[in-house]
Amino acid sequence: MTSRSQSVLAEPGPSTRQLRALTFVLAAAAGISIANVFYSQPLLSLIAQSFGISESSASVVVTVTQLGYAAGIILVIPLGDLFDPRALASRVLIITAVAAACVAFATNLTIFLIASAILGFTSVVAQIVVPFAAHLAPAGQGGRYVGQVMSGLLLGIMLARSVSSFLADLWGWRSVYLLSAVLMVIMVIVLATVLPRRKADHTGRYGSLMISIWHLIREEPALRRRAALQAIMFATFSVFWTSVTYELIKEFDLSQTEIAIFALVGAAGASAAPIAGRIGDRGLGRPATGVVFALAAVAMAMAGLGIHNLIVLALAGILLDLAVQGNLVLSQQEIYALRPDARSRLNTVFIASVFFGGAIGSALSGVVYAQAGWTGIAILGAVLSLLGVGVWAISQWLSRRAKASSNS
């Protein structure tokens, strides 16, 4: 460890009271920034009408936004190891505010898609502040505080759909992005005011920083495993939530407000984040991972059975969100412990793979729903979940084999 890193670690941390306040601010920043990636999911029918395209074609909005987010993860998040996270987050959020305003006032589909991609690209502030929580946390409590910040992030994901549906019902879908622009400006002021400064751990330039990411991928098998598993899990998540709006309108004839109420069921899943953080701190992250993938498979099976039952469909959504959020926190707790001096770069690899998985899930959902309806969506989600169970089981077997070989 370099002397510079040692000086950073030697600095006195915040008091318990200060840490709680900072954790709340970080959770809020994570939630309102990540929400930008998901606002469009329940609005696809309205967006399709505004730009004169089919509903299946409108799903490209979700894909473009998520791909923009994944690109931001690759190109922006590593800067958290190079610059003060407070300054970085504040400056990126200014661009997010401008992009949200451009989406709101877009007059044609091309401008709308470009602005959506930039909005996704800059919404990576959520992944700047999560590693910052791990830096602030006392030794041995990283999972707990990361879990609390992740609760805010996950609530942002879950509530984004409800907020966008409510606002769209009241003032049209463009009001969603106007509100987002205002919230981004407010959060810039808050972050610049309350967050402590933190010196970067990496002393090189941007080029060497990016090259070091490839070394982390090669040297850390746990990072590769966790990235692959969460990509599969998030693809399942996107398959469900990208298509369920169409089903709620077609099968149950729900209004935008009723869809918003349905989407609130996902908020219950945020309770899994702090619990998963504590489970990870106790060293039970790997067995718990198998449980959450099995839970996701059960959720998608229920979703298929709930094709004519709104309550069953809602329960499936709750179980799936519990699985997604639990695995996300378990994964981040494990990878942040690998290299404390490279948490932003580790997060880059992990979250980029997650949102590439999400983008693939969104794209697949549009094709599958058009060809096979909701039954096809349920089967696709179940297959993806069982694939995750298989990857987890193989990784457990390889781990036990390696351990037995080293002991012999």
The model's confidence at residue 394, banded by pLDDT at 50, 70 and 90, is very high
Domains in the chain with CATH codes: 11-407 (1.20.1250.20)
Are the C-beta atoms of 316 and 303 separated by less than 8 Å? yes
Confidence of residue 274 (pLDDT cuts 50, 70, 90): low
Mean pLDDT score, 142-157: 74
What pLDDT does 101 receive? 95
Q: What is the pLDDT of residues 164-188, one digit of tens each?
A: 888 988 898 899 999 999 999 999 9
Q: Rounded distance, CA 8 to CA 107, Å?
A: 48
Name the most confidently modeled range: 142-156, 178-192, 242-256, 303-317.
178-192
Alpha-carbon distance 394 to 129, whole Å?
33
Task: Indicate the pTM of the whole model.
Answer: 0.71
Residue from 175, 192, 160, 193 nearest 94 by CA: 192
Q: How far, in Å, are 282, 283, 349 from residue 279 at the CA level? A: 5, 7, 23
* Cβ pair 341, 82 in contact under 8 A: no
Whether pLDDT at 354 is above 50: yes
Q: Between the CA of residue 245 and those of 55, 204, 356, 370, what are the distances in Å? A: 11, 47, 22, 13
Cα 278 from Cα 380, distance rounded (Å): 32
What's the pLDDT at 10? Answer: 39
Query: At 95, is the pLDDT very low, low, confident or very high (cuts 50, 70, 90)?
Result: very high
Q: What is the pLDDT of residues 20-65, one digit of tens each?
A: 778 888 888 889 999 998 888 788 888 888 887 776 677 788 788 8
Residues 406 and 220: their CA atoms lie apart, in Å, by: 18
Split at pLDDT 50, 70, 90, the class of 8 is: very low
pLDDT at site 7: 38
